[in-house]
């Protein structure tokens, strides 16, 4: 999300540094718009370093980019923290004599304000009337809390804590709940390629979209993600990376994927094997290109190690392991039966079963799956975008954990 954080001139401005850090860590693009007075409390260098974006207070900077409206129109969410009595009054009156005021008028995004001021200022009829006006316009007001204030007084007027501001802001923006926060997950994606000679390989039609969607959903719901990417289609990774909560490791062959997954799984709370792994490989890869002149080629194939079974055998205590099974089946009943049998064979906690065919599953943006757990029941079904399927997977994992 593109988030604008307005900062006005109160002592609590130092706490807003933590709001910005949390948003950046969760992968959001943050632009800070301080008032001139805010810069007397916390300086430009801090805002720029923490948001990783340039900071200006004036409508006259970067005029060629029409910055005074660009920030507001690009924003998916605007937070004002701390919101001083002065800035709240200006918002209520629609005054636009600084970049923050203009941005607030130019935006149609949800606006969240976190007031902070002395109790007397907060309780003043003018401030209360301004708050009512803003609420009536759909502005979300978080706090203030009741507590110790600067100068030794105590009462309502203290800015709520940064975590609370972030949670409230993400809730109104429609961003996902951070229900995977604190979890470390490893996800594999894409299809392996088993070399035959320097120019040819045995591959499969996996685009990597589903696995990458699983990784991105986890990261956006608060997890740390180690993504082991086999071959993925052009642009699939580029759409989601770089992401501050996703680390990517490449693995070309089944053997490389096996090694990468085992190493990463040793540290993970949840392992999701979404990659399409070749069951067979060519034991003797030719160093030179096989040529027609040399006659018909017969390839002897050997079976690759079963990565999922290996991960289950080496599972850490408390670790949840999710497998994917792409099956061809005549009907839903056969698909369920195949899924249930495969779940038991692999010993995973959850098996995501999708029906594949010439036009289903692979290379498309949508998917239809069912989830089988260790009770041999279909515990959930999902259909729609690969992101929707990914979210359903994480919902099912959370229910298991």
Ligand X SMILES: Cc1cc2nc3c(=O)[nH]c(=O)nc-3n(C[C@H](O)[C@H](O)[C@H](O)COP(=O)(O)O)c2cc1C
Catalytic residues: 204
Is residue 178 at the binding interface for ligand X, with CB under 6 A as the rule?
Answer: no
Q: How many residues bind ligand X (CB under 6 A)?
A: 16
- Which residues are within 8 A (CB) of 14 and not within 5 positions of it... i.e. 6 or more apart? 41, 42
CB 213 within 8 A of CB 382: no
Q: Is 399 helix (H, G, I), strand (E, B) or coil?
A: helix
Cα 357 to Cα 279, 327, 329, 361, 381: the distances in Å are 18, 8, 9, 7, 19
Tell me: does residue 9 bind ligand X (CB under 6 A): yes
Near ligand X in 87-106, by CB under 6 A? 87
The yes or no reply on residue 57 touching ligand X (CB under 6 A) is no
- What gap in Å lies between CA 281 and CA 304, rounded to an integer? 6
Strand 184-189 vs strand 270-273: parallel, antiparallel, or unpaired? parallel
CA–CA gap between residue 268 and residue 386 (Å, rounded): 23
Closer residue to ligand X (CB): 10 or 208 = 10
CA dihedral 200, 257, 186, 353 (to 10 degrees): 70
CB of 84 to ligand X, least distance (A): 3
Tell me the binding residues for CTP. 279, 289, 305-308, 324, 342, 346
Q: How far is the CB of 122 from ligand X (least distance, A)?
A: 8
Mask for 111-150, x = binds ligand X (CB under 6 A): -----xx---x-----------------------------
Residue found under tokens 């979209």: 209
| Residue 73, both tokens | 């129109």
From candidates 3, 5, 22, 35, binder to ligand X by CB under 6 A:
35
CB of 55 to ligand X, least distance (A): 14
* Residue 91: closest CA among 144, 37, 140, 47: 140
Which residue carries 């999701």 as its tokens? Answer: 272
Selected range binding ligand X among 8-16, 49-57, 324-332, 366-374, rule: CB under 6 A: 8-16
Shortest distance, position 40 Cβ to ligand X, whole Å? 7
Give the interface segment with ligand X, choosing from 33-41, 192-200, 233-241, 286-294 (CB under 6 A).
33-41
Closest residue by Cα to residue 224 from 205, 242, 247: 247
Minimum separation from the CB atom of position 35 to ligand X (A): 3
Closer of 57 and 320 to ligand X (Cβ): 57
Q: Which residues bind ligand X (CB under 6 A)?
A: 8-12, 35, 37-38, 82, 84-87, 116-117, 121
């Amino acid at each position: 999300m593109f988030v604008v954080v307005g900062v006005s001139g109160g002592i609590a401005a130092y706490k807003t540094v933590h709001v910005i850090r949390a948003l950046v860590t969760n992968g959001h693009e943050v632009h800070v718009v301080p008032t001139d007075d805010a810069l007397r409390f916390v300086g430009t260098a801090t805002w720029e370093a923490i948001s990783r974006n340039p900071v200006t207070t004036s409508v006259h900077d970067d005029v060629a980019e029409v910055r005074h409206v660009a920030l507001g129109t690009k924003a998916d969410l605007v937070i004002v923290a701390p919101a001083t009595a002065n800035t709240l009054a200006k918002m209520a009156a629609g005054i636009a004599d600084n970049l923050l005021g203009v941005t607030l008028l130019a935006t149609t995004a949800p606006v969240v304000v976190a007031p902070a001021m002395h109790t007397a200022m907060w309780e003043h009829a003018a401030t209360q009337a301004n708050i009512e006006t803003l609420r009536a316009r759909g502005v979300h007001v978080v706090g203030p809390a009741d507590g110790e204030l600067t100068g030794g007084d105590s009462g309502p007027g203290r800015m709520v804590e940064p975590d609370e501001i972030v949670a409230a802001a993400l809730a109104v923006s429609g961003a996902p709940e951070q229900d995977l926060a604190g979890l470390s997950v490893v996800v594999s994606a894409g299809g392996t390629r088993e070399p035959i000679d320097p120019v040819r390989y045995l591959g499969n039609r996996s685009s990597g979209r589903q696995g990458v969607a699983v990784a991105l959903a986890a990261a956006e719901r608060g997890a740390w993600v180690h993504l082991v990417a086999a071959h993925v289609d052009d642009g699939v990774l580029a759409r989601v990376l770089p992401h501050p909560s996703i680390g990517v490791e490449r693995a070309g062959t089944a053997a490389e994927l096996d090694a990468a997954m085992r190493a990463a799984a040793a540290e993970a709370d949840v392992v999701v094997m979404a990659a399409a792994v070749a069951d067979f490989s060519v034991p003797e890869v030719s160093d030179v290109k096989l040529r027609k002149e040399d006659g018909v080629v017969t390839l002897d194939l050997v079976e690759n190690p079963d990565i999922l079974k290996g991960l289950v055998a080496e599972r850490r205590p408390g670790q949840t392991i999710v497998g994917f099974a792409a099956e061809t089946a005549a009907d839903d009943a056969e698909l369920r039966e195949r899924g249930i049998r495969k779940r038991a064979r692999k010993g995973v906690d959850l098996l995501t079963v999708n029906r594949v065919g010439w036009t289903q599953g692979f290379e498309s943006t949508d998917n239809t799956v069912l989830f089988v757990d260790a009770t041999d029941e279909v515990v959930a079904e999902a259909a729609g975008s690969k992101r929707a399927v990914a979210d359903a997977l994480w919902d099912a994992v959370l229910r298991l954990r």
